Amino acid sequence: MLNITTGKIDRALKVVAYGSEGIGKTTFAAAFPEPLFIDTEGGTSHMDVRRINRSKSWSELLSIIGEVAATADVCKTLVLDTADWAEQLCVTHVCEKYKQSSIESFGYGKGYTYLAEEFGRLLTALDKVIDSGKNVVITAHAKMRKFEQPDEQGAYDRWEMKLSKQVAPLLKEWCDMLLFLNYKTYVITTDTNSKKAQGGRRVIYTSHHPCWDAKNRHGLPEEMDLDFKNLAHLFKTNPKPAAVEQKPIDKLRSLMEKIEATDTEVQQVVSDKGHYPADTPITNYSDKFITGWLIKYWPQITQIICTNRMVEN
Protein backbone atom coordinates (compact mmCIF):
# COMPACT_ATOMS: atom_id res chain seq x y z
CA MET A 1 0.00 0.00 0.00
CA LEU A 2 1.36 3.41 -0.97
CA ASN A 3 2.02 5.69 1.98
CA ILE A 4 1.65 9.13 0.37
CA THR A 5 2.23 12.29 2.43
CA THR A 6 2.18 16.00 1.62
CA GLY A 7 3.78 19.13 3.01
CA LYS A 8 7.24 19.87 4.35
CA ILE A 9 8.94 17.40 6.67
CA ASP A 10 10.57 18.93 9.72
CA ARG A 11 13.77 16.97 10.21
CA ALA A 12 17.34 17.57 11.28
CA LEU A 13 19.76 18.97 8.70
CA LYS A 14 22.82 17.52 6.97
CA VAL A 15 25.55 20.12 6.48
CA VAL A 16 28.96 19.79 4.85
CA ALA A 17 31.32 22.75 5.27
CA TYR A 18 34.68 22.72 3.52
CA GLY A 19 37.32 25.37 3.02
CA SER A 20 40.94 26.37 2.89
CA GLU A 21 43.39 25.92 5.76
CA GLY A 22 42.81 28.25 8.71
CA ILE A 23 39.50 29.61 7.45
CA GLY A 24 37.71 28.60 10.66
CA LYS A 25 35.76 25.45 9.75
CA THR A 26 35.91 23.98 13.24
CA THR A 27 35.03 27.29 14.92
CA PHE A 28 32.10 27.66 12.54
CA ALA A 29 30.87 24.14 13.35
CA ALA A 30 31.17 24.86 17.09
CA ALA A 31 28.48 27.55 16.75
CA PHE A 32 25.78 25.04 15.74
CA PRO A 33 23.20 24.07 18.40
CA GLU A 34 24.75 22.02 21.26
CA PRO A 35 27.53 20.44 19.19
CA LEU A 36 29.37 17.23 20.03
CA PHE A 37 32.58 16.74 18.06
CA ILE A 38 33.99 13.50 16.76
CA ASP A 39 37.51 14.84 16.46
CA THR A 40 39.28 12.62 13.94
CA GLU A 41 42.35 14.84 13.63
CA GLY A 42 42.68 16.60 16.98
CA GLY A 43 41.58 19.95 15.58
CA THR A 44 39.51 20.94 18.63
CA SER A 45 42.29 20.71 21.21
CA HIS A 46 42.48 24.52 21.44
CA MET A 47 38.72 24.94 21.84
CA ASP A 48 36.34 24.62 24.78
CA VAL A 49 33.92 22.16 23.17
CA ARG A 50 32.42 18.78 23.98
CA ARG A 51 34.30 16.11 22.07
CA ILE A 52 34.77 12.40 21.67
CA ASN A 53 38.44 11.52 21.56
CA ARG A 54 40.04 10.77 18.25
CA SER A 55 38.89 7.47 16.78
CA LYS A 56 41.67 4.95 16.36
CA SER A 57 39.92 2.83 13.75
CA TRP A 58 37.12 2.87 11.20
CA SER A 59 35.08 0.36 13.19
CA GLU A 60 35.40 2.51 16.31
CA LEU A 61 34.21 5.56 14.38
CA LEU A 62 31.09 3.74 13.13
CA SER A 63 30.43 2.43 16.63
CA ILE A 64 30.62 5.94 18.10
CA ILE A 65 28.18 7.29 15.54
CA GLY A 66 25.81 4.45 16.32
CA GLU A 67 25.93 5.27 20.04
CA VAL A 68 25.22 8.95 19.36
CA ALA A 69 22.17 7.98 17.27
CA ALA A 70 20.89 5.74 20.06
CA THR A 71 21.45 8.25 22.90
CA ALA A 72 18.56 10.72 23.06
CA ASP A 73 19.97 13.86 24.71
CA VAL A 74 23.69 13.57 24.06
CA CYS A 75 23.69 16.59 21.69
CA LYS A 76 21.65 18.54 19.15
CA THR A 77 24.39 18.58 16.51
CA LEU A 78 26.96 15.89 15.77
CA VAL A 79 30.11 17.30 14.15
CA LEU A 80 32.46 15.01 12.24
CA ASP A 81 35.74 16.92 12.00
CA THR A 82 37.01 16.13 9.34
CA ALA A 83 35.79 14.03 6.40
CA ASP A 84 39.23 13.62 4.84
CA TRP A 85 40.71 12.21 8.04
CA ALA A 86 37.72 9.89 8.35
CA GLU A 87 38.40 8.76 4.80
CA GLN A 88 41.96 7.85 5.79
CA LEU A 89 40.57 5.60 8.53
CA CYS A 90 38.34 4.03 5.90
CA VAL A 91 41.29 3.49 3.53
CA THR A 92 43.27 1.78 6.29
CA HIS A 93 40.30 -0.45 7.10
CA VAL A 94 39.78 -1.47 3.46
CA CYS A 95 43.47 -2.25 2.96
CA GLU A 96 43.61 -4.34 6.13
CA LYS A 97 40.39 -6.15 5.25
CA TYR A 98 41.67 -7.19 1.82
CA LYS A 99 45.32 -7.53 2.92
CA GLN A 100 46.66 -4.86 0.55
CA SER A 101 49.57 -2.51 1.17
CA SER A 102 47.74 0.54 -0.25
CA ILE A 103 44.51 1.53 -1.93
CA GLU A 104 46.39 1.65 -5.25
CA SER A 105 47.66 -1.92 -5.02
CA PHE A 106 44.25 -3.51 -5.71
CA GLY A 107 44.53 -2.87 -9.43
CA TYR A 108 41.92 -1.69 -11.94
CA GLY A 109 40.50 0.80 -9.45
CA LYS A 110 38.94 -1.94 -7.31
CA GLY A 111 40.36 -0.41 -4.14
CA TYR A 112 38.46 2.82 -4.71
CA THR A 113 35.27 0.88 -5.42
CA TYR A 114 35.60 -0.88 -2.07
CA LEU A 115 36.42 2.47 -0.46
CA ALA A 116 33.24 4.10 -1.78
CA GLU A 117 31.13 1.15 -0.63
CA GLU A 118 32.65 1.24 2.85
CA PHE A 119 32.31 5.03 3.15
CA GLY A 120 28.63 4.59 2.31
CA ARG A 121 28.29 2.76 5.63
CA LEU A 122 29.35 5.97 7.36
CA LEU A 123 26.64 7.98 5.61
CA THR A 124 24.07 5.32 6.49
CA ALA A 125 25.12 5.55 10.14
CA LEU A 126 24.85 9.35 10.01
CA ASP A 127 21.35 9.04 8.54
CA LYS A 128 20.36 7.25 11.74
CA VAL A 129 21.67 10.26 13.68
CA ILE A 130 19.44 12.46 11.52
CA ASP A 131 16.48 10.15 12.15
CA SER A 132 17.07 10.54 15.90
CA GLY A 133 16.48 14.30 15.57
CA LYS A 134 20.11 15.47 15.69
CA ASN A 135 21.73 17.67 13.05
CA VAL A 136 24.95 16.48 11.41
CA VAL A 137 27.79 18.78 10.36
CA ILE A 138 30.79 17.40 8.48
CA THR A 139 33.85 19.56 7.90
CA ALA A 140 36.43 18.95 5.18
CA HIS A 141 39.60 20.51 3.89
CA ALA A 142 39.68 22.05 0.44
CA LYS A 143 42.23 21.67 -2.32
CA MET A 144 42.71 23.50 -5.59
CA ARG A 145 43.26 21.73 -8.88
CA LYS A 146 43.38 22.61 -12.54
CA PHE A 147 40.07 21.95 -14.23
CA GLU A 148 39.50 21.78 -17.96
CA GLN A 149 36.13 21.25 -19.62
CA PRO A 150 36.19 19.16 -22.83
CA ASP A 151 34.27 21.75 -24.86
CA GLU A 152 36.27 24.77 -23.69
CA GLN A 153 39.77 26.03 -24.38
CA GLY A 154 42.12 26.57 -21.48
CA ALA A 155 42.02 25.47 -17.85
CA TYR A 156 41.23 27.24 -14.59
CA ASP A 157 41.71 26.67 -10.88
CA ARG A 158 38.85 25.04 -9.03
CA TRP A 159 38.30 24.36 -5.31
CA GLU A 160 37.25 20.85 -4.34
CA MET A 161 36.97 18.80 -1.17
CA LYS A 162 40.22 17.06 -0.28
CA LEU A 163 38.69 13.64 -0.84
CA SER A 164 39.00 10.89 -3.42
CA LYS A 165 36.99 11.16 -6.63
CA GLN A 166 34.83 8.27 -5.43
CA VAL A 167 33.99 9.58 -1.96
CA ALA A 168 33.49 13.30 -2.66
CA PRO A 169 30.38 12.80 -4.86
CA LEU A 170 28.77 10.62 -2.18
CA LEU A 171 29.18 13.35 0.41
CA LYS A 172 27.92 16.08 -1.94
CA GLU A 173 24.79 14.11 -2.81
CA TRP A 174 24.12 13.16 0.81
CA CYS A 175 24.03 16.65 2.35
CA ASP A 176 21.27 19.27 2.36
CA MET A 177 23.79 22.11 2.40
CA LEU A 178 27.26 22.10 0.87
CA LEU A 179 28.98 25.26 2.06
CA PHE A 180 32.30 26.52 0.70
CA LEU A 181 34.22 28.71 3.15
CA ASN A 182 36.93 30.98 1.79
CA TYR A 183 38.59 34.38 1.95
CA LYS A 184 37.22 36.96 -0.45
CA THR A 185 39.93 39.23 -1.79
CA TYR A 186 39.71 42.21 -4.09
CA VAL A 187 42.18 43.13 -6.79
CA ILE A 188 42.78 46.87 -7.08
CA THR A 189 44.87 48.93 -9.43
CA THR A 190 47.47 51.12 -7.70
CA ASP A 191 48.67 54.56 -8.74
CA THR A 192 51.53 52.88 -10.58
CA ASN A 193 49.03 50.81 -12.58
CA SER A 194 50.02 47.56 -10.87
CA LYS A 195 47.59 45.00 -9.49
CA LYS A 196 47.34 44.43 -5.75
CA ALA A 197 45.23 42.04 -3.68
CA GLN A 198 43.34 43.60 -0.81
CA GLY A 199 40.76 42.52 1.75
CA GLY A 200 40.51 38.92 2.96
CA ARG A 201 36.94 38.90 4.32
CA ARG A 202 35.83 35.40 5.33
CA VAL A 203 32.67 34.35 3.49
CA ILE A 204 30.35 31.39 2.93
CA TYR A 205 29.39 30.48 -0.61
CA THR A 206 26.11 28.57 -0.85
CA SER A 207 25.56 28.08 -4.60
CA HIS A 208 27.46 26.35 -7.37
CA HIS A 209 30.16 28.29 -9.18
CA PRO A 210 32.62 27.21 -11.89
CA CYS A 211 35.39 27.59 -9.30
CA TRP A 212 33.78 25.65 -6.44
CA ASP A 213 30.97 23.27 -5.50
CA ALA A 214 28.21 24.51 -3.18
CA LYS A 215 24.47 24.05 -2.78
CA ASN A 216 21.59 24.68 -0.42
CA ARG A 217 17.87 23.91 -0.37
CA HIS A 218 16.79 26.82 1.78
CA GLY A 219 17.00 29.86 -0.49
CA LEU A 220 20.12 31.26 1.19
CA PRO A 221 22.02 34.18 -0.40
CA GLU A 222 24.81 33.05 -2.71
CA GLU A 223 27.38 34.76 -0.49
CA MET A 224 27.30 35.49 3.25
CA ASP A 225 29.74 36.48 5.97
CA LEU A 226 31.27 33.49 7.72
CA ASP A 227 29.03 33.67 10.77
CA PHE A 228 26.57 31.04 12.01
CA LYS A 229 23.97 33.72 12.72
CA ASN A 230 23.30 33.76 8.97
CA LEU A 231 22.10 30.15 9.23
CA ALA A 232 20.62 30.24 12.74
CA HIS A 233 17.04 30.71 11.52
CA LEU A 234 17.17 27.23 9.97
CA PHE A 235 17.77 25.65 13.38
CA LYS A 236 15.18 27.43 15.55
CA THR A 237 12.79 24.51 15.62
CA ASN A 238 13.67 21.26 17.33
CA PRO A 239 13.13 18.49 14.78
CA LYS A 240 11.36 15.46 16.13
CA PRO A 241 12.91 12.02 15.79
CA ALA A 242 11.64 10.22 12.73
CA ALA A 243 8.78 7.90 13.54
CA VAL A 244 9.89 4.29 13.38
CA GLU A 245 7.14 2.05 12.08
CA GLN A 246 6.58 -0.94 14.35
CA LYS A 247 7.00 -4.30 12.65
CA PRO A 248 3.98 -6.67 12.64
CA ILE A 249 5.81 -9.22 14.82
CA ASP A 250 6.55 -6.48 17.39
CA LYS A 251 2.90 -5.40 17.40
CA LEU A 252 1.89 -9.01 17.99
CA ARG A 253 4.40 -9.35 20.83
CA SER A 254 2.92 -6.25 22.49
CA LEU A 255 -0.56 -7.76 22.33
CA MET A 256 0.71 -11.06 23.71
CA GLU A 257 2.41 -9.35 26.64
CA LYS A 258 -0.86 -7.73 27.73
CA ILE A 259 -2.49 -11.14 28.33
CA GLU A 260 0.80 -12.94 29.09
CA ALA A 261 0.24 -15.26 26.14
CA THR A 262 3.03 -17.71 25.33
CA ASP A 263 4.24 -18.62 21.87
CA THR A 264 2.84 -22.14 22.38
CA GLU A 265 -0.64 -20.79 23.11
CA VAL A 266 -0.66 -18.68 19.95
CA GLN A 267 0.80 -21.51 17.86
CA GLN A 268 -1.95 -23.82 19.09
CA VAL A 269 -4.73 -21.44 17.99
CA VAL A 270 -3.07 -20.91 14.62
CA SER A 271 -2.69 -24.68 14.14
CA ASP A 272 -6.28 -25.43 15.18
CA LYS A 273 -7.51 -22.96 12.56
CA GLY A 274 -5.39 -24.68 9.90
CA HIS A 275 -3.02 -21.83 9.07
CA TYR A 276 0.39 -23.14 10.15
CA PRO A 277 1.60 -26.41 11.73
CA ALA A 278 1.81 -26.25 15.54
CA ASP A 279 5.60 -26.48 15.52
CA THR A 280 6.05 -23.44 13.22
CA PRO A 281 7.79 -20.62 15.16
CA ILE A 282 5.85 -17.37 15.36
CA THR A 283 8.83 -15.58 13.83
CA ASN A 284 8.27 -17.62 10.66
CA TYR A 285 4.73 -16.32 10.19
CA SER A 286 4.39 -13.93 7.26
CA ASP A 287 3.82 -10.24 7.98
CA LYS A 288 0.62 -10.44 5.94
CA PHE A 289 -0.72 -13.25 8.12
CA ILE A 290 0.26 -11.53 11.37
CA THR A 291 -1.39 -8.27 10.32
CA GLY A 292 -4.35 -9.67 8.42
CA TRP A 293 -5.34 -12.44 10.80
CA LEU A 294 -3.62 -12.51 14.19
CA ILE A 295 -3.76 -8.78 14.88
CA LYS A 296 -7.08 -8.27 13.11
CA TYR A 297 -8.84 -11.01 15.10
CA TRP A 298 -6.84 -10.66 18.30
CA PRO A 299 -9.93 -10.12 20.55
CA GLN A 300 -11.37 -13.45 19.36
CA ILE A 301 -7.97 -15.15 19.66
CA THR A 302 -7.68 -13.83 23.21
CA GLN A 303 -11.02 -15.48 24.07
CA ILE A 304 -9.84 -18.80 22.61
CA ILE A 305 -6.58 -18.66 24.59
CA CYS A 306 -8.48 -17.90 27.81
CA THR A 307 -10.91 -20.75 27.12
CA ASN A 308 -8.04 -23.17 26.49
CA ARG A 309 -6.45 -22.13 29.78
CA MET A 310 -9.69 -22.85 31.65
CA VAL A 311 -9.98 -26.29 30.05
CA GLU A 312 -6.39 -27.16 30.93
CA ASN A 313 -6.94 -26.11 34.53
CA–CA separation, 225 and 206 (whole Å): 11
The 10s digit of each residue's pLDDT in 224-271 is 999 999 999 998 766 556 555 678 888 898 899 888 889 999 999 999
Q: What is the pLDDT of residue 173?
A: 93
Q: What is the pLDDT of residue 123?
A: 94
Q: Are 211 and 159 in contact (CB under 8 A)?
A: yes
Q: What is the pLDDT of residue 17?
A: 96
Q: Are 305 and 261 in contact (CB under 8 A)?
A: yes
Mean pLDDT, rounded, of the chain: 86
Q: What is the pLDDT of residue 6?
A: 73
pTM here is 0.70
Q: What is the mean pLDDT of residues 18-37?
A: 92
Q: Are strands 177-189 and 77-81 parallel, antiparallel or unpaired?
A: unpaired
Q: What is the pLDDT of residue 238?
A: 60
With 60 as the cut, is the pLDDT of residue 208 above it?
A: yes
Q: What is the mean pLDDT of residues 176-194?
A: 77
Q: What is the pLDDT of residue 195?
A: 59
With 70 as the cut, is the pLDDT of residue 194 above it?
A: no
The 10s digit of each residue's pLDDT in 35-88 is 999 988 777 888 889 998 878 899 999 999 999 999 988 999 999 998 999 999
Looking at per-residue pLDDT, the higher value among 17 and 8 belongs to 17
Q: What is the pLDDT of residue 309?
A: 86
Q: What is the pLDDT of residue 22?
A: 85
Q: What is the mean pLDDT of residues 16-35?
A: 92
Q: What is the pLDDT of residue 40?
A: 82
Q: What is the mean pLDDT of residues 119-134?
A: 93
27 — pLDDT class (breaks 50, 70, 90) = very high
Q: What is the pLDDT of residue 151?
A: 57
158 — pLDDT class (breaks 50, 70, 90) = confident
CA–CA separation, 84 and 142 (whole Å): 10
